[in-house]
A and B are shown apart, each in its own frame.
Chain A
Amino acid sequence: MRRGRVDRTLVVAGLATIALGALLLLDRLGSIDLRFDYLAPAILAAIGIVLISAGLS
């Protein structure tokens, strides 16, 4: 039986997207105040993690 190979980059990209979505949801619910000063670093961090994962896989 063949097992499908896990694409680590896609998994990391998915997790990063979920994390960003969770932040936006918390902001929408009023739990946190997500200003641009905090959103921009979060997006950059997500992009950085995905790029590093892609480069190292």
Chain B
Amino acid sequence: MSSAAPVAVRRDPQHGYLGGVCAGFAARVGIDPLLIRIGFIAAVALGGVAIPLYAIAWVLIPAEGPERPAFQRLLTRQDTWLVAAGMGCLTASGLLLLRAWDVWIVNDRFLWPAVIAATGGALIWRQSQTAPERVAQRGRLPRQTVNRATAGAALVVGGALIFLYVNDALAPARDVVLPVIVILLAVAIILAPWWIRLVRGLADERDARIRSQERAEVAAHLHDSVLQTLALVQKRADDPREVAALARRQERELRAWLNNTRPSGEETLGSALEAAAAEVEGDHHVPIEVVTVGDAPLDERGVAIVAAAREALVNASKFAGPEPISLYVEVTDERIEVFVRDRGPGFAVDDVPSDRRGVRDSIVGRMERHGGRATVHSTPGYGTEVELVIES
């Protein structure tokens, strides 16, 4: 029987504002740091006991990774919260000045609610500036944006409520609202453990999914590179010079992959596909005709489509005989399309054994993992076409 060792709490200054205590606890529990921070601010407002507790935690809990001074960290964060805090300071400054000049409306009952509301307004305003292309790319607002906009709205509403409260405008509603709040708090305390467990369960599931995808990526890469080269080495065992050349090239490729570097001259999708075609042509001695229409910088998804196309070319070279293979690439603003066609004997796609990883993992699985799709059109006797598509 095995049991997982408990994970110690560590402060996270990289993602924190002061000492990273809230961020550290949030990472340990597996929830958004904003929730811990709201709890902290509420505890400060309810008597200030949270401040010495925070200081003690800052001193006693070790930091995760290197730690820079808090002031330096604070001023080098490009953060919405800084803008909101700055707007709060400016508002407070202006109102204090007006109060010093005895402007009639500005007194303590107005000043602090206005500062809180201005801070919240700045938060909402900054979130409304979220780049439209980011929203369009994700199909919805980023989670951080939603959290911050919610916090901003809460601050504005809170400021308004405080203003009404200190001016005794809430007295009639107080008798109704207080019992409701107490009941809601009680329900929240009862449900909190289940909620935290649910959130942590979702986080664990996401981690497992990411690990599984990474494992599939590594397996697909090893299949396309090392296993293919070993097969070639067996095939060319009678030619020591070619075997040595294959081994050297594979070593270079594997080192580049491990170091996450890219060969020079492969900065665009078109050049990377042409390089892959030339490599397969050299290895398998089958002519490949490359036609490219349009081009695009080689990003992560481009690397995936190149790897899938290369695997399709290798399959065609192995099974299609001496006839030339066609590689057609079309890049538009909306999508990238790659077609690999051969005039070989073809095969029945449904009859491919489940233990063959080439088509299933290296082509179809790889494209799906990167948000694209791969379709294999093949009829016995009439050749094969592999269609790879990634929408921009």
Contact = CB atoms under 8 A, between A and B. Distances in A.
B315 interface: no
Contacts of B85: 48, 51
Given A41-B97, A55-B83, A50 B75 contact: yes
A36 B221 CA distance: 68
A55 B82 contact: yes
A23 interface: no
A31 interface: no
A20 B82 CA distance: 21
A38 B100 contact: yes
Contacts of A53: 86
A52 B83 contact: yes
Contact of A56 (B83, B92, B93): B83
A55 B78 contact: yes
B80 interface: yes
A9 B77 CA distance: 11
Candidate in B76, B88, B96 with the most chain A CB atoms within 10 angstroms: B96
A50 B83 CA distance: 9
A48 B100 contact: no
B79 interface: yes
A55 B83 CA distance: 5
Contacts of B82: 51-52, 54-55
A44 B81 contact: no
B90 A49 contact: yes
Interface size of A as a range? 20 to 34
A48 B86 contact: yes
Question: What is the interface of chain A mostly: helix, strand, loop, or mixed?
Answer: helix
Interface residues of B, number: 25
A47 B89 contact: yes
Contacts of A13: 75
B171 to A, nearest CB: 32
Contacts of A49: 86, 90
Contact of B93 (A9, A48, A50, A52): A48
Contact of A45 (B81, B83, B89): B89
Contact of B86 (A37, A38, A42, A52): A52
A55 B76 CA distance: 8
A44 B74 contact: no
Contacts of B340: none
Nearest to A37: B100
Contacts of A47: 86, 89
A24 B77 CA distance: 30
B94 interface: yes
Nearest to B83: A55
Given A50-B75, A55-B80, A57-B78, A38 B97 contact: yes
A49 B92 CA distance: 12
Contacts of A45: 89-90, 93-94
Given A40-B93, A48-B87, A52-B83, 16 more contacts: A9-B75, A13-B75, A38-B100, A41-B100, A44-B90, A48-B85, A48-B89, A49-B86, A51-B82, A51-B89, A52-B87, A53-B86, A54-B77, A55-B79, A55-B81, A55-B83
The 10 closest A-B pairs by CB, nearest first: A48-B89, A51-B86, A55-B82, A52-B86, A55-B83, A48-B90, A44-B93, A37-B100, A45-B93, A41-B93
Interface of B: 74-90, 92-94, 96-97, 99-100, 126
